[in-house]
Amino acid sequence: MTEKLDKLNNRKDWMSPEERVEFYLNNQKKIELNLDEFEIVKNENYWNQREMRLVSYRDFENTFTHWYCKHLVHLPKIRNLRVLPFYRTYKDLHSLMNFFHPFDRLGMDEVFKDSKYPLFYGEAGKTGHVQVIRKSRRSDDATSIIYNFRTLRLTLPCHVALKADNPWQKKADHVIWRGATTGQEQRVKLVDKYFDKYDIGFASVKQKPQLKGFKRNKVSIKDQLKYKFIISLEGNDVASNLRWILASNSVPIMKKPYWQSWIMEEKLKPNVHYLELNEDLSNLEEILSWAAINDDYCNEIAQNGKNYMSQFLVEKNDLPVQKLLLEEFTKRVSYIN
């Protein structure tokens, strides 16, 4: 699958590793990590205590945790286990697996193996102005650093989509959205507004049982890809379905992204990579009416998104960026008390 992506997509539209690393580092040429402040923020609440860690590769090298992350955590019957007897939470393992990849697969100099990295395993948790390394940050966050964490949840579905997808011409001229009730109220607003008009609804309402009237049947990625248009909405942080929609022959319909992650959402352009919803979500009907008479243009948008996303899915292109990011962080960081 990686070889197919490598051949089909236009590399000249991909960003250079150096450009990407500057984005992930928040364009910070010097990084001063105050260890006292790190400890204060870490102890502010229960989740930070669990999810903020100052670690090095050397801390884990040749340990059972390292072996487990390297050989087992990615396996289908293992990766969704949320509680393990020797570890606090599955998110830690998923993130550590990604942290280990550049060291294990590409090799890194001893200085980087010994370096300490301030990892944050969580999602939308607040870490103040501490320069933690996390999977996503808000658009107004000027300090946090992005790393390619949680790929089993966010990136693995892209490969499912690539295998299950249909050509644009064979897709239905309709829109679909399924999601959880997590995160911002915009999801509730979307479902309330369009539940009776389109195939839009909650797949699960466990967190907000009062919304059970807006629940619809769950739809697999394969079946969602039968539609030309798929809505993507942020929840606790990034929209988890955006990556696999971009990797497919369908078009994402979404608001301008507020959260940024490894795929650099702010680099996506409306009418180039996606069709843009208004802030109040009021223009969905207008978008679909326009799309109905601009089918070829929408097909082009889908292909632009697929090309954009492929730079993150071709491992021989993406893994060196992860390595360069950790190296640059080490070179730029200084630790103060």
CA distance 202 to 204: 5
Domain locations along the chain: 16-150+315-336, 156-313
Average the pLDDT over 110-136 and give the result: 91
Averaged over 22-43, what is the pLDDT? 96
| C-alpha span between 301 and 252 (Å, rounded) | 9
The pLDDT score that the predictor gives to residue 7 is 54
Candidates 126, 129, 172, 122; CA nearest to 147 is: 122
| Residue-level pLDDT at 23 | 98
pLDDT at 83 over 60: no
Residue 36 has pLDDT above 70, yes or no: yes
Spell out the residues 6+ positions from residue 288 whose beta carbon is closer than 8 angstroms to its own.
175, 229
Per-residue model confidence (pLDDT) at position 5? 55
Mean pLDDT, range 100-114, rounded to an integer: 96
Q: Please name the residue that has the structure tokens 């580092």.
A: 25
Determine the pLDDT at residue 180. 86
The arrangement of strands across the sheet holding 251-254 comes to 199-204, 172-180, 227-231, 251-254, 275-276
> What pLDDT is attached to residue 24?
98
For residue 308, the surrounding DSSP H or E stretch is: helix 295-313
The CA R_g of the chain, rounded to the nearest whole Å, is 20
Taking 80 as the threshold, does the pLDDT of residue 72 lie above it? Answer: yes
70: confidence class by pLDDT, cuts 50, 70, 90: very high
Burial class (CB in 10 A: 0-12, 13-18, 19+), 46: exposed
> Is the distance from CB of 92 to CB of 150 less than 8 angstroms?
no
* Segments in 17-145 forming alpha helices (H): 17-24, 35-42, 46-51, 57-60, 64-71, 90-101, 110-114
The amino acid at residue 320 is P
Average pLDDT over residues 127-131: 90
Residue closest to 154 by CA, chosen among 95, 205, 217: 95
Domain 156-313: state its class: alpha beta
How confident is the model over 182-239, as pLDDT tens digits? 776 899 999 999 999 999 999 988 777 788 899 999 999 999 999 999 999 998 899 9
- Going by C-alpha positions, the residue among 51, 50, 52, 55 that lies closest to residue 65 is 55
Residue 332: is its pLDDT beyond 70?
yes
Q: How sure is the predictor about 35, in pLDDT bands with cuts at 50, 70 and 90? A: very high
Helices (H) and strands (E) in the chain, counts: 16, 13
Enter the tokens of residue 31.
């990084």
Sign of CA dihedral 90, 95, 101, 104: negative
